[in-house]
Structure 1
Amino acid sequence: MPKNKSHNTLNSELDAVSKSLKKSIKNRDSYTHVRGESLYVDDVNIRQGTFHAVVFDSPKAHGKIKSIDYSKAEALEGVQRIFTYKDIPGQNEIGGIIADEPLFAEDEVHFWGMPIALIVAETEFIARKARELIGIDIEELPVITTAKEAKAKGSLINKPRSFSLGDAEEAFKNCDYIFEGETFSNGQEHLYIEAQGAYAEPMENGHIKITSSTQGPTAVQATTARVLGVAMHKIEVDVTRLGGGFGGKEDQATPWAVMAALATFHLNQSVKLVLNRHDDLRMTGKRHPYESTYKIGLNKDLKILAYEAEFLQNAGAAADLSPAVAERTLFHATNSYFVPNVNVSVASCKTNLPPNTAFRGFGGPQGMFVIESAIVKAAHEIGVTSRDIQEANLLDENDTFSYGQIAKLVEAKNSWHAAKDLFDIETLEQEVEDFNNTNSSFKKGIAFMPICFGISFTNTPMNHARALVHIYLDGSVGISTAAVEMGQGVNTKMMQIAADVFSIPIEKIKIETTNTTRVANTSPSAASSTADLNGKATLKACKALLERLKMVAKEELKTKNKDITLRYEFVHINDKKSVLSWTELISKAMLKRVALTENAHYATPEIHFDKTKEKGHPFAYHVYGTSIIITTVDCMRGTYEFDSVKIVHDYGKSMSEGIDLGQVEGALVQGIGWMTMEEIAYNEDGKLLSNALSTYKIPDIFSVPKRVETLPLQTKGHDLAILKSKAVGEPPLMYGIGAYFAIQNAIKAFNPKYDMKFHAPMTPEKVLMGLYESP
């Protein structure tokens, strides 16, 4: 491919890609979404007599509960009952990884917004009015809000962990350049469109059905059973879809479902609990803020010889998923680069904030931001571009990650050079330089952001899934899996798999709700592994059914020929269409009493990880890619806009290019938001200040990049990806990290005296201060 392509040639290629995307299958939920017909928890047809619940939560971040007066609230007409920890028949514990989080506070509160009681009333309005009548007296205790302060006081969730490769201490002695620094990356609010919520219904014989907005139905089921002191088979959890999750509903959807079920357990009546936006913002955790330090050593050829980093993770008041998130930070601490000598550690620090939790990227972005900051610092001090150092250190085949896995089918250099060539980097950089030379009030900045993201749950036992497939008498198909549809298009991909195996129209296939009775003991829809795990199980079930149907076809057509296929709703022999149609084949199978139901199980092969040695092969494969971000900064106001983001992304062999492109663009904008405008703010008392959309800013139509161009990297895909179509949910978010450094480069073009900062997000206020900073 020529190195310097004309813009006309590039635009022609982009148009061709755009046309091919239009031909790809559409998200099957799109039609009902735009018509407002898609069903969520708040749309459930509630039973007559359903009660409504509201949570009473702590108005202080840390303290001992001296007294609570519920009398006025209980006396309010329409209030049915107020539940506290005293009403829990089982365990007052909802912690998943570590048992350190009560459903309701007992004697102490540990964060502002911690649930203390559940008010159940005839209407939500009455319940909210009752909440205002509750009196509480709390003896305040010291409040910790930052990870550094928590570490200094020895307030940790668990024992710190570290990964190492080579001998970093010795390698630093041979470095020509050594640089040290600090970074900070703030939290991020999930801001899913559908707030947290659940609807619990009493069934026969003491069973309870919960309709929940959760990414982890089994977690809801198991935790509810534990709190109620009943067996798991007594609890059924059903999920139609989520109005967004982004990790915020992996574990943090659980308490609201448990509370609703607790009320149903006692009242034998349906109970609905849906948080409003303000309650959701106040009571739920965010992406983890990180305070980190680094040390990086390079030789004169710009090779990184040694790298050290300490990550201090602000876990909040309880573990939640923090230990797992911290672990993934270590897995992605060196991003797309091979560093022969590494020593990185992470500590989950316990503070008095709501327990922070999973968020798209799951700790990986926080780790990548630190090494990218270290590279920028080194480039600035040495007098080269960041791109020079990035390109000199990209991963190659058979390089070793710090956790012991050997890199295979590496696309780091391929995606990097494809981006440079396809988007003509020399021309782009010249355009930025020319603009900056001729404009005094506006400056442009450009930055590269390569990514390398591992696909699998890093907790190996979680990498499994099941699928239940029915073929009905008329030839239509029903599929149940553990995959939760939350806007990522996974339902469409499951339907696509069955349609491809059976060679029938996708309209003949239905995806059932995600239900713990039909598919049990499931991992959550997370880690970008949902399509791979559940898709592989679905594929396995469909292929088993296909083999049975082929045997029926052989008998009916009286042939011993092995080359029997299903194509376009007919049986084919040696590529020739027979008289036996799909529907007739199903009828014949039924007459022969052949099973038309299959329950398949899939577990990712090859992966393993030994936490005692911090070594192994934890990922099925890695996703690679490179983005180029160009921004323009208004040097009078400190505002900025993103002119373009140009991406070469490793889809593998995408099975649904339109859906995957949507995931890339959505993740990118979410990553840019995290790095630029989305600033979580708590005061020193632990109270959330960014508690509304007037004080917490997210990218809107006016702040997204003017143009996003995404080209697929030409690869063979990976066998452990479903149909060789690589996971696409989380990896593209990291492209947004480049936005931070593009803005910094623009500031530097205006103010050569500006000292590079690594304190994200890069809000307009920080930009303005940097533009006019003096030594």
Structure 2
Amino acid sequence: MQLVKTLHPPKVKKSSKPIDRGIRNIDSYTHLRGESLYVDDVNVREGTLHAVVFDSNCAHGKIKNIDYSKALDLTGVVSILTSKDVPGENQIGGIFPDEPLFAEGEVHYWGQPMALIVAETKTIAKKARRLIVAEYEELPVITTAKQAKEKGSFISAPRSFNLGDVDGTFAECDYIFEGESFSNGQEHLYIEAQGAYAEPLENGNIRIVSSTQGPTAVQKTTAQVLGLPMHKIEIDVTRLGGGFGGKEDQATPWAVMAALAAQHLNQSVKLILDRHDDLRMTGKRHPYNSTYKIGLSKDLKILAYEVELLQNAGAAADLSPAIAERTLFHATNSYYVPNVKSTVYSCKTNLPPNTAFRGFGGPQGMFVIESAIAQAASELGVLPSAIQEANLLEENQEFSYGQVATKVEAKNSWMSAKEKFQLEQAREKIYEFNSNSPVAKKGLAVMPITFGISFTNTQMNHARALVHIYQDGSIGISTAAVEMGQGVNTKLLQIAADIFSVNGRKVKIESTNTTRVANTSPSAASSTADLNGKALVMACENLLNRLKTIVAQEYKVDEKEVALKDEWVYVAGQKTDITWEQLIFKAMALRVALTENAHYATPIIHFDKSKEKGHPFAYHVYGTAIVTATVDCLRGTYEFDSVKIVHDYGKSMNPGIDLGQVEGALIQGIGWMTLEEIAYAENGRLLSNALSTYKVPDIYSVPKEVEVLPLETDGNDMAILKSKAVGEPPLMYGIGAYFAIQNAMKAFNPNYKMKFHAPMTPEKVLLGLYNQ
């Protein structure tokens, strides 16, 4: 069948490169060459001013007086803005309105913003900051969650998830163990510090380039503070130099401050935090103090588990209540426990408001139950893996929050890792090594993970996509997805290129912009690719169907017989002489819409907070890691010989990117569990305020061998193209590093009583090795 050519499209250059289905990260080239653009790379308007934040050097106190006179007299200082200059509400709190943009009357943490210095250069603004003198009437300081609970200082009411009869079941348990654990905070240490550039436009509009994971949150809060409607504020994000949750909520104040200054001065303003300012003023992963009680039967089944978790929220809510909730969701990790009582308190302290961090409270909850299992195993004289394996989640078992587990891969991943990595042989080799090595000892730990995918706040699980097909056949895509190194732009490009069957070079992923795609959820909860990708699929398929209709009508065939393949039109399986570009030309001539806007909302999920029951997750990600460590028992130092993982990718749409996410999350998790120790003085001042006092994993800290095998599975239809979320779940594999070290210590000192106080720094190892 030949098409009768009634139209005469322009000549176009054909793509010589075949469709690349296994595309590499599209940012790799510009990253390597240093050409990728971030906030600090924006071409600024002539006369742009620079801002520096003046913050509190008192953790809790009444503001008696602040003298700005010397700073204002400094040549080059244009203005100093305080709460008195806010035309709208001096409030940036998201969940609760408990966080002022600038302190008023009192300060509640060391590093709390009090004013914004705007000057001709950043150097002048920083010099002016040193000239400001603040006087305080100091008040009592709370730095730990335990202190906060004792004083009744809370962000919100406690929450509890319950299943079965915990109290009654403990009376029937053969073994009961009780203990406590502590997991410290963690600094995000994104490569690109917090920052924003605000530019006043005509008619009172303001455009902000922000380093944020949540453009809509920045837009909404800026409008609130400036006393403007949201449509007057435009937020644009090209990419972030890392986020890890630290820019989900805490990117907002800096953007708001820059916009406030731009509004007041009618000039563009740039505010980029220095690393030390960022470390001092921003919140971290939440530290948790926890107590637990675990009951087992003689056959090592966990019959009952009770846990109380004290979350150190800091001085304001930020995202702490939502993070506390996620801790409850993952309090039993990969295990089925028929009787559970888990309670979390969000404790208010005088630290910077702690915030989202990869895992969003889940890792803290998982660490506690793994500690409980480790203690039980130690006291019973069995391997922790014996208890772990005996209690792995199975199909149709119920989580403590009411969701029934389906398509469960917990045992599949465990048994795959056990077999493929020859777990028993590995144990025998370690036993042989330890028997012949008086100084160095090896330890092994197995770490299973089960992590739910979705925002636990149901209403946040939605996204939109806007797609333009241009006259020459090129394609522009806008979504709410923020690229921050996780490769989401590449996956979005893959989706469009696959649906239209065009070369990826024809597809452009636009910056994330609130004018093009509005009212969106942040790029967080490992849901960015799922939500935005599903919306993009809908938009692209709607456009594709329109294009197929054109061909079907001309050929007088059913639309089902029309297909696009490698930029050519096929009818009834036969290649026509219509190229992709010619098809688009036809659509234009026939006045067919080549723009589509689609909205996706995750189905099925729901959660009733009044009952603490529901079905909050679209699906779960599973996996198992086997971690082996060697401890130098003279020095207390350690290294990781290997981490071997079987991970549930589903049907990965980009194995290269997904592998990178697993490896990166693993190392970040190991860092949290071993090296990264947040320290505050009793007066609330951050002590680990530089990379000389806060250690992160470097090339020498990375395991000598990291092997990641994909779990053989059918995937899940709720995931984009059955490719499961991969951002957060692998971080929890790092918890295994903590227990591998402890097991090596126990091999050296049989009298060592296991402790569960993370991170396991070399200092703690050395003390534990010789503890009698």
Paired with 2:566 and 2:92, the residues of 1 have a C-alpha distance of: 50
For residues 123-162 of structure 1, the aligned pairs below 5 Å read 123-162=121-160
Structure 1 match to 2:7: none
Match of 1:420 among 409, 418, 421: 418
Match of 2:748 among 744, 747, 750: 750
- Please report how far the alpha carbon of residue 245 of structure 1 lies from its aligned counterpart in structure 2 after TM superposition: 0.1
Structure 1 match to 2:250: 252
- Please report how far the alpha carbon of residue 679 of structure 1 lies from its aligned counterpart in structure 2 after TM superposition: 0.2
- Please report how far the alpha carbon of residue 117 of structure 1 lies from its aligned counterpart in structure 2 after TM superposition: 0.2
Deviations 1:119-169 (A, max 9, x none): 000000000000000011011100000001001100000000000000000
Quick check: 2:549–2:559 contact (8 Å CA) kept in 1?
no
Paired with 2:159 and 2:55, the residues of 1 have a C-alpha distance of: 33
- Please report how far the alpha carbon of residue 580 of structure 1 lies from its aligned counterpart in structure 2 after TM superposition: 1.0
Match of 1:180 among 178, 181, 198: 178
Structure 2 match to 1:52: 50
Match of 2:274 among 276, 279, 282: 276
Paired with 1:140 and 1:736, the residues of 2 have a C-alpha distance of: 40
- List runs of 5+ in structure 1 lacking aligned partners: 1-21
AA in 2 matched with 1:535: G
Paired with 1:639 and 1:398, the residues of 2 have a C-alpha distance of: 44
Change (3 A) 1:281 1:89: same
1:362 aligns with 2:335: no
1:40 aligns with 2:45: no
Match of 2:310 among 309, 312, 329: 312
Paired with 2:244 and 2:380, the residues of 1 have a C-alpha distance of: 39
Paired with 1:150 and 1:24, the residues of 2 have a C-alpha distance of: 51
Change (3 A) 1:164 1:733: same
Paired with 1:559 and 1:481, the residues of 2 have a C-alpha distance of: 34
Quick check: 1:423–1:646 contact (8 Å CA) kept in 2?
yes
> Secondary structure in 1 aligned to 2:317?
coil
AA in 2 matched with 1:38: S
Q: Find runs of 4+ consecutive structure 1 residues off by over 6 angstroms.
A: none
Deviations 1:599-650 (A, max 9, x none): 0000000000000000000000000000000000001100000000000000
AA in 2 matched with 1:303: K
Structure 1 match to 2:579: 581
Match of 2:608 among 607, 610, 613: 610
Deviations 1:103-122 (A, max 9, x none): 00010000000000000000
- Please report how far the alpha carbon of residue 769 of structure 1 lies from its aligned counterpart in structure 2 after TM superposition: 0.4
AA in 2 matched with 1:515: N
Paired with 1:576 and 1:695, the residues of 2 have a C-alpha distance of: 67
Paired with 1:560 and 1:397, the residues of 2 have a C-alpha distance of: 43
- Please report how far the alpha carbon of residue 558 of structure 1 lies from its aligned counterpart in structure 2 after TM superposition: 4.1
1:347 aligns with 2:345: yes
Paired with 1:50 and 1:443, the residues of 2 have a C-alpha distance of: 59
- Please report how far the alpha carbon of residue 426 of structure 1 lies from its aligned counterpart in structure 2 after TM superposition: 1.2
1:194 aligns with 2:198: no
Match of 1:116 among 114, 117, 120: 114
Deviations 1:656-698 (A, max 9, x none): 0000000000000000000000000001000000000000000
Structure 2 match to 1:329: 327
AA in 2 matched with 1:640: Y
AA in 1 matched with 2:170: F
Deviations 1:403-443 (A, max 9, x none): 00000000000000000000011111111111101101100
- Please report how far the alpha carbon of residue 573 of structure 1 lies from its aligned counterpart in structure 2 after TM superposition: 1.6
For residues 376-387 of structure 1, the aligned pairs below 5 Å read 376-387=374-385
Paired with 1:769 and 1:552, the residues of 2 have a C-alpha distance of: 75
Match of 1:207 among 183, 191, 205: 205
> Secondary structure in 1 aligned to 2:560?
coil
AA in 2 matched with 1:693: L
> Secondary structure in 2 aligned to 1:562?
helix
Structure 2 match to 1:437: 435
Change (3 A) 1:343 1:240: same
Structure 2 match to 1:11: none
Paired with 2:558 and 2:378, the residues of 1 have a C-alpha distance of: 72
Match of 1:408 among 391, 406, 409: 406
Change (3 A) 1:515 1:561: closer
Paired with 1:273 and 1:760, the residues of 2 have a C-alpha distance of: 35
For normalisation by structure 2, the TM-score amounts to: 0.97
> Secondary structure in 2 aligned to 1:547?
helix
Paired with 1:674 and 1:77, the residues of 2 have a C-alpha distance of: 45
Deviations 1:206-242 (A, max 9, x none): 0000000000000000000000011000000000000
1:664 aligns with 2:662: yes
AA in 1 matched with 2:677: E
Structure 2 match to 1:591: 589
Quick check: 1:632–1:643 contact (8 Å CA) kept in 2?
yes
Quick check: 2:222–2:259 contact (8 Å CA) kept in 1?
yes
Deviations 1:677-720 (A, max 9, x none): 00000010000000000000000001111110000001000001
Structure 2 match to 1:619: 617
Match of 1:71 among 46, 49, 69: 69
Quick check: 1:176–1:299 contact (8 Å CA) kept in 2?
yes
Structure 1 match to 2:451: 453
Paired with 2:514 and 2:83, the residues of 1 have a C-alpha distance of: 27
- Please report how far the alpha carbon of residue 25 of structure 1 lies from its aligned counterpart in structure 2 after TM superposition: 2.0
AA in 2 matched with 1:79: V
Paired with 1:536 and 1:49, the residues of 2 have a C-alpha distance of: 43
Structure 2 match to 1:100: 98
Quick check: 2:21–2:494 contact (8 Å CA) kept in 1?
no
AA in 1 matched with 2:271: L
Paired with 1:561 and 1:744, the residues of 2 have a C-alpha distance of: 63
Deviations 1:314-337 (A, max 9, x none): 000000000000000000000000
Deviations 1:293-346 (A, max 9, x none): 000000000000000000000000000000000000000000000000000000
> Secondary structure in 2 aligned to 1:405?
coil
Structure 1 match to 2:5: none
Structure 2 match to 1:688: 686
Paired with 1:581 and 1:195, the residues of 2 have a C-alpha distance of: 46
For residues 477-488 of structure 1, the aligned pairs below 5 Å read 477-488=475-486
Structure 2 match to 1:18: none
- List runs of 5+ in structure 2 lacking aligned partners: 1-19
- Please report how far the alpha carbon of residue 576 of structure 1 lies from its aligned counterpart in structure 2 after TM superposition: 1.6
Paired with 1:464 and 1:561, the residues of 2 have a C-alpha distance of: 30
Deviations 1:16-56 (A, max 9, x none): xxxxxx99321000000000000000000011000000000
Quick check: 2:548–2:559 contact (8 Å CA) kept in 1?
no
AA in 2 matched with 1:507: R
AA in 1 matched with 2:436: T
For normalisation by structure 1, the TM-score amounts to: 0.97
Match of 2:300 among 285, 299, 302: 302
Structure 2 match to 1:9: none
Paired with 1:455 and 1:409, the residues of 2 have a C-alpha distance of: 14
Quick check: 1:561–1:573 contact (8 Å CA) kept in 2?
no
Paired with 1:268 and 1:31, the residues of 2 have a C-alpha distance of: 38
Structure 2 match to 1:88: 86
Structure 1 match to 2:16: none
Quick check: 2:21–2:498 contact (8 Å CA) kept in 1?
no
Deviations 1:380-410 (A, max 9, x none): 0111000000000000000000000000000
Paired with 2:42 and 2:483, the residues of 1 have a C-alpha distance of: 17
For residues 215-226 of structure 1, the aligned pairs below 5 Å read 215-226=213-224
Paired with 1:343 and 1:574, the residues of 2 have a C-alpha distance of: 60
Paired with 2:54 and 2:109, the residues of 1 have a C-alpha distance of: 13
Quick check: 1:336–1:394 contact (8 Å CA) kept in 2?
yes
Paired with 2:472 and 2:43, the residues of 1 have a C-alpha distance of: 30
Quick check: 1:448–1:629 contact (8 Å CA) kept in 2?
yes
Q: Report the count of equivalent residues.
A: 753
AA in 1 matched with 2:487: G
For residues 755-770 of structure 1, the aligned pairs below 5 Å read 755-770=753-768
Structure 2 match to 1:388: 386
- Please report how far the alpha carbon of residue 554 of structure 1 lies from its aligned counterpart in structure 2 after TM superposition: 1.6
Deviations 1:512-562 (A, max 9, x none): 000000000000000000000000000000000000000011233343463
